[in-house]
Structure 1
Amino acid sequence: MIEDLYIQKFGRSPEVIAQAPGRLEFIGNHTDYNGGPVLGVAVDRRVSVALAARSDRQACFRSASMEGEVCVDIDSFAPLSGNESWANYPLGVLKELISAGMPIPHGFDMLVDSDLPAGAGLSSSAAFELASGYGYCGLYEFELDRADMARVGRRAENNFVGMPCGILDQGVSAFGDVNSLVKIDCEKELFSRLTLPDDVHFWVFNTAKKHSLVDSLYGTRHQECMEAHRRMQAPLPQAQNLAQISTAQLSEHQDLLGDVLYRRALHISGECERVLAVESALGKGDMATVGELLFESHESSRVNFENSIPELDILVDALKESQHVWGARLTGGGFGGAVMAVTNGQFGQADAEKIVAAYQEKFGQAATFFHTTTGPGASQGQLSAT
């Protein structure tokens, strides 16, 4: 338990604990920062934090999985680099909450622990941000609703960490629930839940591969989308973002974009249309159609957005040929990472092992996998009774 770990690390008991789940991007790849809709699922694995007040003005961070401590002055801190950069996630949230009016009469010691598999596309960064936010609010008796907490996490990652993400990760971590998908209208930042049918399971296959330029590639795709929208404003000045432009309109004005920008924009517009089609199919309990749309989403990532890699494609192709699999696609930003498979309950360990065996035969190295289910959203936890 994180309380016991906290005592080991800091020599005293925590005053507040909080947790937030990782998330799987169900469908809506890169639509969030383009103002489109997206569907995500909060999983049953999470990041937990524990905090207690200090008597000085220092904020000190420790990790259950690493040695050492990172300390800053809460009255004057800036983004950290190198081995200390992991603390930028809770520091960015702290900065945003201070800006929102949270009082900080004293410093604190924070411990973070996680059972989220590294590099598996579950957005541990957003979970860390949301868990930190709820931990701070518990320690300093400050209140924010779920939507505002998600916005705080997103701003922390944009402004302090320096990643131009949308609100997908933080929104799903905040609003997730058991047996539910989270739908986010990213333009209006509206959050709702869709009920999943019974017997829906998630299997995550992790390639453990990351493109060495993943951060710069993410930023490049962001810039390409902004440029595509800028060019499309000439014929469509009313379109405030790419999500408001249909695939038919893109085709009509393809000459304005050129091949690369057209394909980037086509992925975004197509994803927005697929999200709405998935919502409609879920309303009918039609998981076969949902699965087809997931496969289509991955193909668009491969061809149009070019944020897949051969390792991800091989996994998706193998899953497409497997029984009891409704659909599969890369999950997260892409350029490596993991594939999400949506299956029924008859897909099991032996089936997953066949997938990774095919992967190893192709690439000469193993992929890992795990099974997960839906889980609750971020919250302040309860300390054990003494």
Structure 2
Amino acid sequence: MIDQNMKQSVLENFEKVFGKREGIKTYFAPGRVNLIGEHTDYNGGHVFPCALTIGTYAAVAKRDDRVVQFYSVNQDRFGVYGVNLDDIDTINDQAGWTNYPIGVIWAFAGRGMKLDKGFDMVINGNIPNGSGLSSSASLEVLTGFILRDLYGFDVTNQDIALIGQYSENNYNGCNCGIMDQFASAMGKENNAIFLDTADLSYEYAPIKLDGAKIVIANTNKKHKLTDSQYNARRSMCEEALAILQKTVDIKGLGDLSIEEFEAHKDVLTDPDMQKKAKHAVYENQRTIEAVKALKAGDIEHFGELMRQSHESLRDDYDVTGVELDTLAEEAWKIPGVIGSRMTGGGFGGCTVSIVKDEAVEDFKRIVGENYLKKIGYEATFYTVEIGGGPQEI
């Protein structure tokens, strides 16, 4: 479901900004929402995301020199940012959002896929920025897909996901797991991806929501993961793993069953560390159970597991905050809401809810009114559909 207005926008802006009409190609890569399995992807656990029909659009044309130039319709005040391909070895704070595509170019080069010539690129996205729906991963996957197409590099979509994650970890300094890039690169229409992040084995699971919709609610509280507690959570889980590995043979927290964790948890003498590890273990098992429930057509149990997931992210992992809690807790009160939870890294961003068709308007109105009353500014609601992966358009 390509938005032709978005495609037209990047083409018109390309002509306006760069003055070219010939040799322009247009592309799209989706954002994602994670239905369940949060903060498990860097702990060797399972995740269950799906690509969305909203995402990032680009118009691109190759240049005859070694310069790459970027312009974002969403951030037009930033203007055009250009850099020579020979000057991208270290991140430049002045480069702003362009450090995401530059990081991907840098990561490709590190694998021997160096650009001989630069390019001009205009992007426009309809993923709300800072919403936790993976605008950064969408941009990374989009860039990788473009590099493959324009320069003929021999990489798969899965490679593009891994390169995007590597660039975000090592160029942009955010220790994200693989889920976001994988969901964007490997998305399949009307399917979520049941992914084991320990070995990247995955299967597509059809999402049949007869008589229900997926509704995203955005707190409109911006989050920036690299400046948040995200990296601290990951470090604490790594520390917990190292301690547990002295008594049990595991490669990641995702290897533990609930019974095994309960049997060995007391070696984690720091109560906060024990709670963080508990979330990683329990959330992984919840995700496995949720996919079984979905396959069995038990959407009500899936919804209950979504609720448990949010409560664990609130009480054990401590990544929700009053805004996300308000959206989830108000949603749980509405008849016709099958399940609701925070999605993404947390500290702001969005909730994802499965809502019966007849309850969608009431859900948006009542949750919206109560959120405004409690938080003091409005939440934004989107009814979304599950889309496919990156493509040339």
TM normalised by structure 2 equals 0.93
* Cα distance in 1 for residues equivalent to 2:93 and 2:155: 32
Q: From 96, 102, 116, give the equivalent of 2:113.
A: 102
Q: Please say if 1:61 is aligned against 2:61.
A: no
* Cα distance in 2 for residues equivalent to 1:359 and 1:198: 26
Correspondence for 1:36? 45
1:340 Cα deviation (Å)? 0.9
Aligned 1:35-184 pairs, distance under 5 A: 35-65=44-74, 66-67=76-77, 68-184=79-195
Are the counterparts in 2 of residues 120 and 205 from structure 1 also a CA contact under 8 Å? Answer: no
Q: Please say if 1:8 is aligned against 2:8.
A: no
* Cα distance in 2 for residues equivalent to 1:343 and 1:202: 6
* Cα distance in 2 for residues equivalent to 1:243 and 1:322: 33
Match of 1:25, as an amino acid?
N
Q: Please say if 1:317 is aligned against 2:329.
A: yes
Q: Which moved more, 1:9-18 or 1:186-195?
A: 9-18
Correspondence for 2:287? 275
Are the counterparts in 1 of residues 215 and 354 from structure 2 also a CA contact under 8 Å? Answer: yes
* Cα distance in 2 for residues equivalent to 1:16 and 1:101: 24
Correspondence for 2:4? none
Superposed CA offset, 1:58-79 (max 9, x none): 1111111223111111123134
Correspondence for 1:227? 239
Secondary structure of the structure 1 residue equivalent to 2:158 = helix
Q: Please say if 1:19 is aligned against 2:28.
A: yes
Correspondence for 1:333? 345
- Distance change >3 Å, CA 192–CA 220, structure 1 → 2: same
Secondary structure of the structure 2 residue equivalent to 1:336 = coil
Q: How many percent identity over aligned positions?
A: 33
Q: Please say if 1:185 is aligned against 2:196.
A: yes
Are the counterparts in 2 of residues 79 and 88 from structure 1 also a CA contact under 8 Å? Answer: no
- Distance change >3 Å, CA 212–CA 181, structure 1 → 2: closer
Secondary structure of the structure 2 residue equivalent to 1:41 = strand
* Cα distance in 2 for residues equivalent to 1:83 and 1:149: 26
Divergent runs of 4+, >6 A? 211-214
Match of 1:196, as an amino acid?
I
Q: Please say if 1:354 is aligned against 2:366.
A: yes
Q: From 297, 302, 310, give the equivalent of 1:290.
A: 302
* Cα distance in 1 for residues equivalent to 2:72 and 2:388: 23
Q: Please say if 1:207 is aligned against 2:219.
A: yes
Correspondence for 1:376? 388
Are the counterparts in 2 of residues 90 and 128 from structure 1 also a CA contact under 8 Å? Answer: yes
1:378 Cα deviation (Å)? 1.3
Are the counterparts in 2 of residues 31 and 37 from structure 1 also a CA contact under 8 Å? Answer: yes
1:103 Cα deviation (Å)? 4.5
1:184 Cα deviation (Å)? 1.3
Match of 2:343, as an amino acid?
T
* Cα distance in 1 for residues equivalent to 2:363 and 2:47: 29
Are the counterparts in 2 of residues 79 and 85 from structure 1 also a CA contact under 8 Å? Answer: no
Match of 1:78, as an amino acid?
D
1:344 Cα deviation (Å)? 2.7
Superposed CA offset, 1:187-234 (max 9, x none): 101232110114342111111224688734001100110011011011
- Distance change >3 Å, CA 180–CA 211, structure 1 → 2: closer
Superposed CA offset, 1:115-170 (max 9, x none): 11122221100000011111111111223211111111111111111110110000
Q: Which runs of 5+ in 1 are unaligned?
A: none
Secondary structure of the structure 1 residue equivalent to 2:48 = strand
Are the counterparts in 1 of residues 173 and 226 from structure 2 also a CA contact under 8 Å? Answer: no
Secondary structure of the structure 2 residue equivalent to 1:357 = helix
Match of 1:230, as an amino acid?
A
* Cα distance in 1 for residues equivalent to 2:226 and 2:98: 20
Are the counterparts in 2 of residues 43 and 375 from structure 1 also a CA contact under 8 Å? Answer: yes
1:331 Cα deviation (Å)? 0.5
